[in-house]
Amino acid sequence: MASTTLELSDATSGRPVRLSPTGTVIYEVALNGWRILRETVNDFSLWRIIEYPWATAALELRRGDLVVDLGSGTSSFPHMLAKEGVDVVVLELDAERVRWQLAKRRATARPGDGRFFPLVASATHMPLRSGSVRRVAAVSSLEHIPDDAAVGAEIGRVLASGGIAAVTLPFTSTERTGFFEGIRKFVRVERNAFVQEGKAGSFFRFYTAADLERIYGRGVGLVMSELRGFGRSILNGRYHETRLTRYWRRFVLKDLLLALLVHPLEERFDRSDPLYVMFTLRKP
């Protein structure tokens, strides 16, 4: 768990890596046991079943590639990638979560897996050489970091020319004045930014398209593309931001069905704001 500058090398040119929604659930069970179908032990849920396959495809991953995963938390995504032969840097601020990741890795590692580099560090000051990284993933993590301008600048700095970042972030087309109203108490602290009352470290920011370009796109010399949404009137409006959210972390197979059946229909026919967007950033 060193925090000195990490030298990274990217072997690449292996076979392409694909992750399906069903594949994420199978991996989740293999990594954390059957009980996660009843009650997840981490943030694995409907959104992750949508995000992990998308991020894997968006990064155009092959066996032997190296991904820097920002704000991994206790997510299984780094392990799913390692099982597919991808090398992963888990870059996470919370040392306890990095220890959890390392213990999980030691318990589940098999010959042929990708390598695993745990790193206690902040995405606002990455101990990585400028231009040294070809692939960055940030799945539902950067919205929790107040100094987002520093994160955007760091992603722009560490990416190599031609490198890609796959990012998912909360979205709004107008100013959001509330969040999870009637379920939890989130207090507005800045335009489109909230903290949960009484919960330290619960900072949560929504982004407009202009904010995304300024903080993560053109503003830091990166080209944003492949913007997609998820969580519109049914998956968010009738489910997630309602009292049904108490079932959010339970019965993961319902989430698989929602991801396979409802999510594609929403993206095809529903033009309301998504709760989250997924997009890539490329360094020219």
Ligand X SMILES: C[S@@+](CC[C@H](N)C(=O)[O-])C[C@H]1O[C@@H](n2cnc3c(N)ncnc32)[C@H](O)[C@@H]1O
State the residues that interact with ligand X by CB under 6 A.
43, 48, 70-73, 75, 77, 92-94, 97, 122-124, 139-141, 144-145
Q: How far apart are CA 141 and CA 128, in angstroms?
A: 19
In this structure, what token pair is assigned to residue 174? 């107008």
The answer to whether the beta carbons of residues 161 and 283 sit under 8 Å apart is yes
Nearer to ligand X, 31 or 139 (CB): 139
- Between CA 240 and CA 246, with CA 245 as vertex, the angle to 5 degrees is 170
In this structure, what token pair is assigned to residue 78? 């780094």
Minimal distance in Å, beta carbon 13 to ligand X?
27
Minimal distance in Å, beta carbon 257 to ligand X?
20
Nearer to ligand X, 28 or 65 (CB): 28
Nearer to ligand X, 69 or 211 (CB): 69
Q: How far apart are CA 57 and CA 196, in angstroms?
A: 33
Residue whose pair of structure tokens reads 């972390």 in the numeric block:
249
Minimal distance in Å, beta carbon 104 to ligand X?
13
Nearer to ligand X, 21 or 71 (CB): 71
* 91 beta partners: 70, 119
Minimal distance in Å, beta carbon 200 to ligand X?
11
Nearer to ligand X, 99 or 233 (CB): 99
- In the chain, the largest separation of any two C-alpha atoms, in whole Å, equals 50
Minimal distance in Å, beta carbon 203 to ligand X?
8
* 139 beta partners: 168
**Is the CA virtual torsion 49, 185, 192, 73 positive or negative?**
negative
